Chains A and B, each alone.
Chain A
């Protein structure tokens, strides 16, 4: 599965707490992405990275921040989690020309 791992795989947290999700890749891909998946909405891009310390917003970036300090790791942070951020989060990587490979996903529940 293209050497992409996500941690944690499941998390339950309370409204107002900070949450950090981690994506780790061993493919040396330049591009990394964070998506959220909700019923009826498909896969929506939150943030993406086109290199170390180079990131940009996606279509649903409000309430999220990201960081990429090295090629293999891409972190997604919810500064103050809200119930609307309950979702399944997928990380993906790409060399920019060929397919995107997805990680196994993280199921986040915000109570």
Chain B
């Protein structure tokens, strides 16, 4: 089955700096890669996703890049703000096999004011 590894497990950055979180996946058939943000005591919520036919996707201060050859994808947050502090999860899914998401173990991002 799919295995997703996520690094780092914790990340602290100064407010205004950029943050990068990286994930690797094992199943070359995976074709959908979402990123979820989970604030303390809340449910995970999708912040951005990318499909395998696209190499990069941006949404304001957030971007995701995908390298299918190397089987890794990354989340980039620019101009970080205190409200970006949360746990971030990457995930991978094969839309043409089972519809199960496999999650990474999460990155706790702390923005230092």
Are A99 and B34 also in contact (CB < 8 A) when A31-B99, A41-B105, A48-B100 are?
yes
Tell me whether B43 is interfacial, beta carbon within 8 Å.
yes
Which of B45, B49, B89, B100: most chain A Cβ within 10 A?
B100
Are A102 and B105 also in contact (CB < 8 A) when A50-B99, A58-B100 are?
no
Residues of A within 8 A of B105 (CB): 40-42
Residues of A within 8 A of B102 (CB): 45
New A-B contacts (15) at CB < 8 Å, excluding given A42-B103, A42-B104: A1-B43, A33-B101, A42-B89, A42-B106, A43-B89, A56-B98, A58-B100, A94-B99, A96-B95, A99-B49, A100-B46, A101-B46, A103-B43, A104-B43, A105-B43
Contact sample, A vs B, 24 pairs, CB 8 Å cutoff: A1-B43, A33-B100, A33-B101, A42-B6, A42-B89, A42-B103, A42-B106, A43-B103, A44-B103, A45-B101, A45-B102, A48-B99, A48-B100, A50-B99, A56-B98, A90-B43, A94-B99, A96-B95, A99-B49, A100-B34, A100-B101, A102-B44, A102-B45, A104-B43
